[in-house]
Structure 1
Amino acid sequence: MSPSLATLEKIVREAGTIALAHFKDLKHLAINKKSPRDFVTAADVAVEHFLHQTLSQQFPQFGFWGEESGQSANQNARWIVDPIDGTHSFAKGQYFWGISVALEVDQELLLGVVYAPALNDYYCAEKGQGAWKNGEAIRVSSEDKLDNAMIGTGFACLRAYLEDNNLARFGRIAQKTTGQRRFGSAAVDLCLVADGQLDAFWEQELNLYDVAAGALVAQEAGATLTDFQGKEGVFPKQILATNGKLLQQLLPLM
């Protein structure tokens, strides 16, 4: 059986129901620290367990890579999953978090879903077929002036030890743009670029499970995906997504 976006939607929405049950009962949510600034909750574990079990049962030909459980089985054709991207926001009762599921075969992203249950927004994409939000086709913004742009970024918890901690880059870009946003979920941020709510997004020192699904959604909506030097592709350690019109204006600031 080959996966389709329709089949995947049923699975991911069920995972969203599990996440929302925890989200509505945060007083009793078990929270642990993987490192001094990196959290994992019972919701992360429960959602990933469900996705791992369900996807493996329905599509045994694919391996699995989840943020919490790691890699298993066939890693040349695999599901890439972040059960809750934006765990800290989730644990604080904020709405900007999402379930991220991508299918990658031979290092090519084929399907991507980012579901933000608290926002009731469901993004999906299929390589070469387009991107959708809640069933409607989406497209990046047409903004071509950096000084009018709204740009998103993040300050990943695992970057605290780096000399290049994104603050200087943020300062340069903030001086050149009208609006800056930091929502706390790279997966959701990339989807906001896809549907034009953000004109660009950058972050660094992420992992592929943070960005795989959102990157495909953005690409299929017309976004450019590069590293900070302008090399095309999905590079979690240096990811820059733009509406295309702002790419050359942003690269000198990276």
Structure 2
Amino acid sequence: MTDGAGLVLRRSVGPATGLVLSRPDRGNALTPALLDDLLTAIGSADRNRPLVVSGAGKAFSSGGDILGFLAHAGDPEALAAHGRTLVDGLNDVILALQAFPAPVLAAVNGPLTGGSLGLALAADRIIMADTAFVQPWYAAMGFAPDGGWTALLPARIGSARTHAWIAGNDRLDAATCLAMGVCDRVCSASDFASAMETEARTLASADTATLQASRRLLRPAEADLRAELEAERTAFLDCLLRPETIARMRAFAASGRTAKEAG
């Protein structure tokens, strides 16, 4: 069953509430409106049922919408305001997912780039389709990393490997992500829907108090994570306003790769 209209759809995934990013024509690229809808959906979800976050169409999410940044590129104040709103919205969603009392599953059904990785890193478990990949794009675009690339990812793979990944802008397939510890399970794209439901049932059967204690003991405290995410936002805005970054975004959009990167 699927409910809702707009940028985030709600559906049942076995015993879980599924939240589906729904901008498939743009690779589910993040905008302030989409993040607002996602935050609202998280806040109104049944807090006794697991959450499953996935994307509509071929992609999970292609990160911040480049065309959204370019729409404000002629006015530094407007560009800064748009960037601040976008990253603040992403940070709020990450914090809300980490604080959600029931288990959270990130179901990476397709390509995942840029700050959208934070939607997965905030989950208790991450599964990827074997056709999915993860790619930073920061060094190619001139952005500073956001979405928990520095605040959350090093806990999974280490600081040196995180930096090397960002520097090389490597596109890592699902099998490589599993081997590195970026995700917890890879399954075939044809079986992905059933795998999501199986994972949701496993999480629904887990003792919630145990998972909450594990989060509390292993993850940074909310205040510490918030401070690290805010540091990411500051660095992102500093880089966003540079002429070099704007030129890289314009070249990227002109190349036609914006749409292609989602599939």
Determine if the TM-score, normalized by the shorter chain, exceeds 0.5. Answer: no
Shorter-chain TM-score: which interval? under 0.3
Q: Which has more helix, going by share of residues? A: 2
Higher relative contact order (CA 8 A, sep 6+): 2
TM-score, with length taken from structure 2: 0.27
